[in-house]
A and B are shown apart, each in its own frame.
Chain A
């Protein structure tokens, strides 16, 4: 199902921004958030689903998310998370940051080993 199992290094910063991102379209409970991330990444990113919850609780306590108990489509009791105004602002900031880092990393990767060898031969 997943080709890349998350690690703490991956989760550091990226899980929070992914959660904020999938919630920008409306309230979701934890299971739905996990499915959204899985779908959006094309199955390439799959997190240990239980680790979503400490992150959700941390973001709620920080004020980025609002949480309320409700019922799922199947009638099951679940906690629904909504992006707060503060969370929306943080999502913009984190997205911008991630794009800058991603671009920088892509640039490094695009340089490739041949460029590094040319630099070393000078």
Chain B
């Protein structure tokens, strides 16, 4: 069948159609003329000879049409084949394109569904571990503050069911194997009693689950990695002064800070170290911090060295309208103390800060 088809296609008459028509007409006309001439020669008058010649020959148009069909049959077959093949290829391409489009749509739907599930899962995990949903500031009232050698320092919401130290370290991106020690600074009972400090060696965290610590609201975790092992744990922590509820008070954090802006002061107050943690500052990067209290008619500017902060020697309770300027190690003391701040104006910061950056009470 296929061979027969190929043979037929190989017989395509390649002459131009008008040439084919001329050849057929010449051949038929030659026959008619010869027949008519012979009939005249046999004695018939020309008119009768012409009529008889046409009668014996048949309709020349019909014969020409049939000859033309024979000549062009393979050419038409080839054209139809090309049309069919082209249409088939077009349909095939359309089918493949449509199939790919549907596959893409299915994949997109699957990805969307997966994203939704992952978001749900992240929310579920966040609600259990205190991991912030976004921006490091959680709408939860109770919070834990993490600073020191931490990939993600900041304020973390305290889940309703509580959270352990190990889980909180995981939420802050801390690798337990790199921890030399963690100091948990905890306010006294009712916010007025003597503060306590719990030093947890990294070894305990890694190898003895019973040494894990159940964290409480407002706990401040200071993480020290192995390479920075110091006597942080042994040093005396100077407690921040805690006072009563404060409503509608704000402070400003600026300088070398991941999240500069205006922050609401929690009702039970907040210390400098906790505030720095909330603003995402890594204590180990700090050269010094300047607290400007002149806007509230206070005692002017107070400079706290980064080393004092890290070692727990220095901390203070922040006041309404305080401006906290952070200078990292590579900055000079002059640019933070005397010279113009290498940071944006605090007023602009207040205007620029997004509402979501404000810690919830």
Contacts and interface: CB of A to CB of B under 8 A. Distances in A.
Interface in B51-107: 56-60, 62-63, 66-67, 69-71, 74
A29 B27 CA distance: 9
Contact of A78 (B27, B37, B59): B27
B12 to A, nearest CB: 10
B24 A72 contact: no
Contacts of A26: none
B34 A31 contact: yes
Interface residues of B, number: 26
B70 A61 contact: yes
Contacts of B63: 50-51, 53-54
B31 A30 contact: yes
Given A72-B34, A76-B34, A78-B30, A49 B57 contact: yes
B58 A76 contact: no
Contacts of B30: 29-31, 72, 76-78
B11 interface: yes
A32 to B, nearest CB: 9
A57 B70 contact: yes
A39 to B, nearest CB: 13
A54 B57 contact: no
A49 B26 CA distance: 15
Contacts of B34: 31, 72, 74, 76
What secondary structure prevails in chain B residues at the interface with A?
helix
Interface string A1-25: 1000000000000000000000000
Interface of B: 11, 13, 23-24, 26-28, 30-31, 33-35, 37, 56-60, 62-63, 66-67, 69-71, 74
Interface of A: 1, 29-31, 34, 46, 48-51, 53-54, 57-58, 61, 72, 74, 76-79
14 contacts: A31-B31, A48-B56, A49-B35, A50-B57, A53-B24, A53-B28, A53-B31, A53-B63, A54-B67, A58-B70, A74-B34, A74-B37, A77-B30, A79-B27
Given A48-B58, A72-B34, 17 more contacts: A1-B56, A29-B30, A46-B56, A48-B56, A49-B56, A50-B58, A50-B60, A50-B62, A51-B63, A53-B27, A54-B67, A54-B69, A57-B67, A57-B70, A72-B30, A76-B33, A77-B30
